[in-house]
Structure 1
Amino acid sequence: MEAYRYECANAHLETLARVISDLFPEQTLFSDRPADDGTPGLAVQWVAMRFGPTARRMTLTVRLPAPAYARYVAVPAAMRARSFAVLRAYVEAALGSLEEQYANGEAVPREVDIELGDEFA
């Protein structure tokens, strides 16, 4: 049994999922989730044990604006390290923000969206 589940029809999104998978617990599901306007998106669904007394299903959706995504796809695979680093930084910051909210006694949302900007690619 694979530690993570990748259900991405888009190979580029699956690559991005694999870049951040180690930030999440095993059994996390990564899947395509385009916005209504077709903007590419990657949904990360996992069961969080650290945001309350019981486990909660969480979803973090990473939105990739079409121009930035097109630039990312156009870059040769060997030159995508910067995009991977930006993605990891955004996801780590989002998870850190959730942990900070919980530590401060604030409600932690079950669904979080982050949008990568031009610095992504």
Structure 2
Amino acid sequence: MYADQLHPGRSYADLRSAISIGLLDKRLFRHDAIPHHRFRLADPEHDMEVSDSIEVHTVELTKYNLQEGTISSAPAIEQWAFFFLFADRYEPQQLRELLPGVEFQDAISVVEAIAAKTE
């Protein structure tokens, strides 16, 4: 997908970014409490970065402080972490009340549609 963008005679600068996001339900980096890390291709020995066109993000969901009582007013990233970790524990209507944002209503509807097809 990334390499397919480049055609003969075109510049690498014309490539659209390729971003990978890993949503992790366990700790990857146990030495810190930071939940989101971003990695790029770099040569640390010469302090050079290839470009910002390839990134790998890790989001360690369990590092967020997720409380049902405050999740509706939490930052969006924490709400998404709550959704990915705990959506299966709630009925759709409960999730709609906990996560009232439009993007969550859409995500809940998608989960409902998938569940209906697998029944």
Q: Same fold, TM exceeding 0.5? A: no
Which fold has the larger relative contact order, with Cα–Cα distance below 8 Å and residues 6 or more apart in sequence?
1
Larger gyration radius, structure 1 or structure 2: 2
* TM-score of the pair, normalised by structure 2: 0.23
With normalisation by structure 1, the TM-score equals 0.22
